[in-house]
Chains A and B, each alone.
Chain A
Amino acid sequence: MIHAGLTHFLVISVALFSLGIYGVITRKNAVMVLMGIELILNSANINFIAFARFGNFGLQGQIIALFIIVLAAAEAAIALAIVLNIYKNLSNINVDEMDSLKD
């Protein structure tokens, strides 16, 4: 175990991103897919802040991380409204059963 540096934070970000993608593509429930997307956005934020800390870019990375957090809040609100509408129409929210456009 060496002193925690830039690569440590980047490796954590890679692992979080992969877990988020895994959640998005394997879970059936639409709310679980949203949780996977939140994990992906968090890993992107870790990347931005790590490069802002170790790359001497000032605070621009932290500003962009704040903007990403705001957009994630907007995305979660819209996506949950869509999920509620789907539940009203199909009475389940399994993403593999939303295929009524195919008929």
Chain B
Amino acid sequence: MTTYDIIFYLFALVTLLSAFFVVTNRNIVHSAFYLLFTFFGVAGIYVMLGADFVAVVQLIVYVGGILILLLFGVMLTNKITNVDIKSGTIHALPASIVLGLFAGALAAAVLNTKWKIVASPETSSSTVSLGNMLINEYALIFELLGIVLLIALIGAASMARR
């Protein structure tokens, strides 16, 4: 049991526990704040996998952008003064039974497969090589994604203003 394992199980615990609270908490604002811890835990898991740049992007985009958008959505669509911010669940029991079976089947498939593990060489930082790949072989996809993001944000702004 090395330090790597201890940190891994810590991040896994934070991620899964807060994700569980996200989907089961009745208060939507509490769910959004638990989602913060889920994103932090996932960023930690990315760091454990040697993806430091993706982890930082996860923190900036998810925590700084998407989570704020979701909180705006909660605040703009609920009457805060009335206690109407609670949200019910439907079909909770059948959904948990079916998804328990589904998760068990998927986990069994993962655990019973003989994965061919090829240890990739340890790299100190992935940022330089990721930047080189983004402006060389993935340049077209990179630019297209920029256009997609621009169009999506313009569309979202014009839809929300109407």
Contact = CB atoms under 8 A, between A and B. Distances in A.
Interface of A: 1, 3-12, 14-23, 25-32, 34-36, 38-39, 42, 45-46, 49-50, 52-60, 62-63, 65-67, 69-78, 80-85, 87, 92-94, 96
B15 A78 contact: no
Interface of B: 1-2, 4-5, 8-9, 12, 15-16, 19-20, 22-23, 28, 31-32, 35, 38-39, 42, 45-46, 48-51, 53-54, 57-58, 61-62, 65-66, 69-70, 72-74, 76-77, 87-92, 95-96, 99-100, 102-103, 106-107, 110-111, 115-120, 126, 129-130, 133-134, 138, 141, 145, 148-149, 152-153, 155-157, 159-160, 162
B115 A3 contact: no
B27 to A, nearest CB: 11
A49 B73 contact: no
B130 A59 contact: yes
B50 A53 contact: yes
A6 B117 contact: yes
A69 B39 CA distance: 12
B153 A74 contact: yes
A81 B87 CA distance: 20
Nearest to B91: A26
A80 B73 contact: yes
Contacts of A10: 110
A37 to B, nearest CB: 10
A38 to B, nearest CB: 6
A92 B129 CA distance: 47
Nearest to A60: B133
A82 B5 CA distance: 43
Contact of B45 (A12, A22, A76, A82): A12
Given A26-B92, A54-B117, A59-B133, A19 B54 contact: no
A84 B73 contact: yes
A38 B45 CA distance: 16
A88 to B, nearest CB: 9
A93 B111 contact: no
Nearest to A58: B120
Given A12-B12, A22-B96, A74 B149 contact: yes
